[in-house]
Amino acid sequence: MTQEIGGFAALGIHSAVLAAISAVGYEEPSPIQAQAIPVILDGHDMIGQAQTGTGKTAAFALPILSKIDPAKREPQALILAPTRELALQVATAFETYSKQLPGVGVVAIYGGAPMGPQLKAIRQGAQIIVATPGRLVDHLSRNGELLSTIRFLVLDEADEMLKLGFMDDLEVIFEAMPESRQSVLFSATLPHSIRAIAEKHLREPKHIKIAAKTQTVARIEQAHLMVHADQKIPAVLRLLEVEDFDALIAFVRTKQATLDLAAALEAKGYKAAALNGDIAQNQRERVIESLKDGRLDIVVATDVAARGIDVPRITHVFNVDMPYDPESYVHRIGRTGRAGRDGRALLLVTPRERRMLQVIERVTGQKVAEVRLPDPQQVLDARIRRLTESLRPLVADAEASHGELLDRLIADIGCSPRALAAALLRKATNGQALTLAEVQKEQPLVPVGGPRERSDRSDRGERGERSERGDRERRAPMPLAEGRVRCRTALGARDGIAARNLLGAILNEGGLAREAIGRIQVRDSFSLVELPEEGLERLLGKLKDTRVGGKQLKLRRYRED
């Protein structure tokens, strides 16, 4: 067993699970993990009082995975979460920790997405179900025996579930499971209602209580920017126009994202490189040395690949993708502000990630202020400032060294000094937009809080919904990105459809990656979706029988003439 996971090895976790957590950089168990894992492995029911951000997901996921039987293709573990976002986060964690366990399947069950793929995953024998109570009860109404083989139950953030009114649903779910199951309940607080559930449904539970430590990060200025998921790369490029950085590390979640962002940065002239788990150790060392000595200015990395990077010249950290937990956020931004220097950390937050931002603020005890994307005037001013700074040292002796050549060129070309200087500037700036009108024409970014984000909200009032519908009807379609076409469905806001419903249906049924889908505009009586032109007919064929909100999607190519 490797030394760095010795703390986890001592807890009795399955060797394949240990291998998986070693691969993602886990070293020592947190207090909740050290206390809860042996209790769960021993088969006891348990009440864990712990805040989000203490590592509680691994505290129940690692021992449950150690006890799952991959040979049995039936539901064995049920994890209940109060929200879609938390359910997805927990399901992702289970998938990560089970990578070395062949035959173990995980399915996330939540509202706002088609039931078809969820039912298919259950039929194929997923052993771990991560669900929100409401959607799970919908599944139980179709299949009352769904939970009859459950051996492990976890109620995650039980107090939040009760606040959201899931008490009746929980009772239905409890009734559908065997009484012989092992039950674990996690809650930040233990009001009377939670204690009543524990007394009724848990058997002699062990109690564990962990206080969340406030983590502070000195000398680092923190800020966040609300941005749509498909506009992260343009947002990063826009921010870099105005940020005065020496060296920068940008964090993303996947290997592919490191390559995509690094390529986009290089295309804009930045000295950038990707750092991920596929990079050989000698190449990794060369990248870090290049960052130290100035041959590179930006490294795009995953959390695991960035371990051990200590480069004093890093002035900025960009969290392009939201970290999975607050501890990762603290570790990431700690890459700057080294050696007594000030640092700056920027976090890109999509509308669905607002809750995690609040958790980060609570755990760190610091407010992460919101900033806005630079406007065209700020971008123009920054470009001219950089051009000025690059030319200033050159003009000191330029007349002495190149004055005669200048005179000859003016004479040979037959132009004024101003015309020649302008031509040389055009050549030196390589077609970069340097007037306000030109900058304004560059690819626009849709601000969060604008049309698309509003249509994503499910909790808006009726009056706000009516006014937004009017706005949608008056809006003209936005310019299309190259390689995409606009498709239309007759489903709209009056059918109770939101952008997230359409996105979920297309992702699940069409087999597309998220980045392949562009803007989704939901209007009163129809919706528009941007899809890749390549393979469009095949995709529309796949979506032919797809239903959203009980109605057929019926996507068709949209002709705007």
Which secondary-structure segment (H or E) carries 230? none
Last residue of a domain, one of 352, 373, 394: 373
Report the candidate in 473, 459, 477 with the shortest Cα–Cα distance to residue 525. 473
**Tell me, what CATH number does 502's domain have?**
3.30.70.330
Considering the domain boundaries, does residue 215 fall inside one?
no
Residue 64 exposed, middle or buried by CB count within 10 Å (0-12, 13-18, 19+)? buried
Distance CA 93, CA 52 (A): 14
Boundaries of domain holding 278: 220-373
- CATH code for the domain of 332: 3.40.50.300
Instruction: Please state, in angstroms and rounded to a whole number, the distance separating the CA atoms of residues 520 and 491.
Output: 12
Q: Count CB atoms within 10 A of the CB of residue 168.
A: 10
In a domain, 214, yes or no: no
Question: N- to C-terminal Cα distance for the chain?
Answer: 66
314 shares a domain with 287: yes
Is residue 458 a part of any domain in this protein? yes
> Do both 242 and 155 map to the same domain?
no
What is the rounded CA–CA span in Å between residue 160 and residue 359?
A: 14
**One domain, residues 189 and 51:** yes
Q: Which residue, of 373, 407, 426, is where some domain finishes? A: 373
Place of tokens 């409401």: 134
One domain, residues 347 and 430: no
What are 442's two structure tokens? 């560059």
Q: Is the dihedral of CA 70, 73, 74, 80 positive or negative?
A: positive
Q: Could you tell me the two tokens for 67?
A: 């006890």
Amino acid at 461: G
Matching residue, tokens 């490294």: 299
Task: Indicate whether 265 and 386 sit together in one domain.
Answer: no
Q: Is 161 exposed, middle or buried (0-12, 13-18, 19+ CB in 10 A)?
A: buried
pLDDT per residue as tens, the chain (561 positions): 333 445 788 898 999 999 988 887 777 888 889 999 999 999 999 999 876 666 789 999 999 999 999 999 999 999 999 888 788 889 989 999 999 999 999 999 988 788 888 999 999 999 999 999 989 999 999 899 999 999 999 999 898 888 778 888 999 999 999 999 999 999 888 888 888 999 999 999 999 988 655 555 667 889 999 998 888 998 898 898 888 888 999 999 888 889 999 999 998 889 999 998 788 878 888 898 999 999 999 999 988 778 767 788 899 999 999 887 777 788 888 888 765 667 899 999 988 888 889 888 887 778 898 988 887 787 778 777 877 777 777 777 777 778 888 888 888 898 988 888 888 887 877 767 777 777 676 655 655 654 444 333 333 333 333 333 344 333 445 667 777 889 999 888 887 788 888 888 887 777 777 778 888 888 888 899 999 888 888 888 888 878 887 788 889 888 765
Gap between the Cα atoms of 475 and 470, Å rounded: 9
In angstroms, rounded to a whole number, what is the distance separating the alpha carbons of residues 277 and 299?
14
- Does residue 313 sit in the same domain as residue 396? no
* Domain contains 546: yes
Spatial separation of the C-alpha atoms in residues 357 and 325, rounded to whole Å: 10
Q: Of 195, 206, 209, which is closest to residue 162 (Cα–Cα)?
A: 195
Residue 86 sits in the same domain as residue 154: yes
Question: Which pLDDT tens digit goes with each residue over 230-248?
Answer: 889 988 988 988 888 889 9
Q: Are residues 393 and 481 in the same domain?
A: no
Cβ-contact 348, 321 below 8 angstroms: yes
List C-alpha distances in Å: 416 to 412, 430, 434: 11, 22, 22
Q: Are residues 196 and 118 part of one domain?
A: yes
**Residue 462 counted as domain residue:** yes
Contact present, 84 and 117 (Cβ < 8 Å): no
Residue 517 placed within a domain: yes
CA atoms within 13 A on the CB side of 547: 5
List the beta bridge partners of residue 527.
Answer: 489, 522
Number of domains observed in the structure of the chain? 4
Cα dihedral 149, 13, 331, 371, rounded to 10, equals 0
The answer to whether residue 533 sits within a structural domain is yes
For residues 10 and 157, state if they share a domain: yes
Q: Supply 31's token pair.
A: 């207090």
DSSP letters for 374-426? PPHHHHHHHHHHHHHHHHGGGSTTHHHHHHHHHHHHHHHHT--HHHHHHHHHH
Distances (CA, A) of 339 to 23, 242, 314, 335, 342: 30, 24, 10, 11, 9
Same domain, yes or no: 145 and 22: yes
Of the three residues 180, 209, 238, the one that is the final residue of a domain is: 209
Q: Has residue 436 been placed in a domain? A: yes
What's the predicted TM-score (pTM) here?
A: 0.49
Total Cβ atoms within 10 A of residue 162: 19
State whether 57 and 189 are in the same domain: yes
